[in-house]
A and B are shown apart, each in its own frame.
Chain A
Amino acid sequence: MARSAKAVPWFLFAAGGTVIAFILPVMIFITGIAPAIGLFGDALSYETMHAFVGNWLIKLILLGIIVLAAWHAAHRLRVCAHDFGIRADGAVSIVVYGLAAIASAATVVALLMI
Chain B
Amino acid sequence: MSERQIELEVLRYRPEMDDKPFFQTYSVPCQEEWVVLDALNYVKDEMDRTLSYRWSCHMFVCGSCGMAINGEPKLACKAFLRDYQTKIRIEPLSNFPIERDLVIVQDDFIEKLESVKPYIIPKQEKPIDQGEYLQTPAQLKAYKQYSMCINCLLCYSACPQYALEEKFIGPAALALAHRYNMDSRDVGRSAREHVVASHDGIWACSFVGACSQVCPKDVDPAGAIQQVKFTSAVDYLTSFLPGGKR
Please report which residues of chain B, range 139-155, place their CB below 8 angstroms from some CB of chain A when the two chains form the complex: none
Q: Is A43 an interface residue (CB 8 A)?
A: no
The answer to whether A10 and B237 have CB atoms under 8 Å apart is no
Chain B residue nearest in CB terms to A10:
B233
User: How far apart are B208's CB and chain A's nearest CB, in angstroms?
Assistant: 8
Output the residue of A2, A7, A8, A82 with the most chain B CB within 10 A.
Answer: A7
Please report which residues of chain B, range 188-240, place their CB below 8 angstroms from some CB of chain A when the two chains form the complex: 193-195, 197-201, 203, 206, 229-230, 232-233, 235-237, 239
Write out the residue numbers on chain B whose beta carbons fall within 8 Å of the beta carbon of A2.
194, 198-199
Q: Is A4 an interface residue (CB 8 A)?
A: yes
The answer to whether B206 and A11 have CB atoms under 8 Å apart is no
- The total of chain A residues at the interface (CB under 8 A) is 15
The answer to whether B206 and A1 have CB atoms under 8 Å apart is no
Kindly state the separation between the CA atoms of A1 and B194 in the bound complex, as whole angstroms.
6
Write out the residue numbers on chain A whose beta carbons fall within 8 Å of the beta carbon of B239.
3
Output the residue of B200, B230, B233, B235 with the most chain A CB within 10 A.
Answer: B233
Kindly state the separation between the CA atoms of A10 and B225 in the bound complex, as whole angstroms.
13
Q: Is A47 an interface residue (CB 8 A)?
A: no
The answer to whether A7 and B232 have CB atoms under 8 Å apart is yes
Q: Is B1 an interface residue (CB 8 A)?
A: no
Which residue in A5, A8, A14, A83 is a CB contact (below 8 Å) of B160? A83
Write out the residue numbers on chain B whose beta carbons fall within 8 Å of the beta carbon of A5.
236
User: How far apart are A73's CB and chain B's nearest CB, in angstroms?
Assistant: 15
Main secondary structure of the interface of B (DSSP, over half): helix
Kindly state the separation between the CA atoms of A2 and B197 in the bound complex, as whole angstroms.
8
Q: Is B128 an interface residue (CB 8 A)?
A: no
Which residue in A3, A82, A85 is a CB contact (below 8 Å) of B193? A3
Q: Is A106 an interface residue (CB 8 A)?
A: no
Q: A11-B233, A14-B230 are in contact. Are A3 and B197 (CB under 8 A)?
A: yes
Chain B residue nearest in CB terms to A2:
B198
Write out the residue numbers on chain A whose beta carbons fall within 8 Å of the beta carbon of B138.
none
Kindly state the separation between the CA atoms of A5 and B239 in the bound complex, as whole angstroms.
12
Q: Is B17 an interface residue (CB 8 A)?
A: no
- Interface size class for chain B? 20 to 34
The answer to whether B230 and A4 have CB atoms under 8 Å apart is no
Kindly state the separation between the CA atoms of A82 and B163 in the bound complex, as whole angstroms.
12
User: How far apart are A60's CB and chain B's nearest CB, in angstroms?
Assistant: 22
Q: Is B164 an interface residue (CB 8 A)?
A: yes
The answer to whether B229 and A4 have CB atoms under 8 Å apart is no
Write out the residue numbers on chain A whose beta carbons fall within 8 Å of the beta carbon of B198.
1-4
The answer to whether A11 and B195 have CB atoms under 8 Å apart is no
The answer to whether A6 and B199 have CB atoms under 8 Å apart is yes
The answer to whether A4 and B203 have CB atoms under 8 Å apart is yes
The answer to whether B206 and A10 have CB atoms under 8 Å apart is no
The answer to whether A1 and B160 have CB atoms under 8 Å apart is no
The answer to whether A11 and B237 have CB atoms under 8 Å apart is yes
The answer to whether A7 and B197 have CB atoms under 8 Å apart is yes
Write out the residue numbers on chain A whose beta carbons fall within 8 Å of the beta carbon of B235.
3, 7
> 6 nearest interchain CB pairs?
A1-B198, A7-B236, A7-B233, A6-B203, A4-B199, A79-B206
- Name A residues whose Cβ lies closer than 8 Å to a Cβ of B: 1-8, 10-11, 14, 79, 82-83, 85
Sample of 9 further A-B pairs with CB below 8 A, known A3-B197, A3-B198: A1-B201, A3-B235, A3-B236, A7-B233, A11-B233, A14-B233, A82-B164, A82-B206, A83-B206
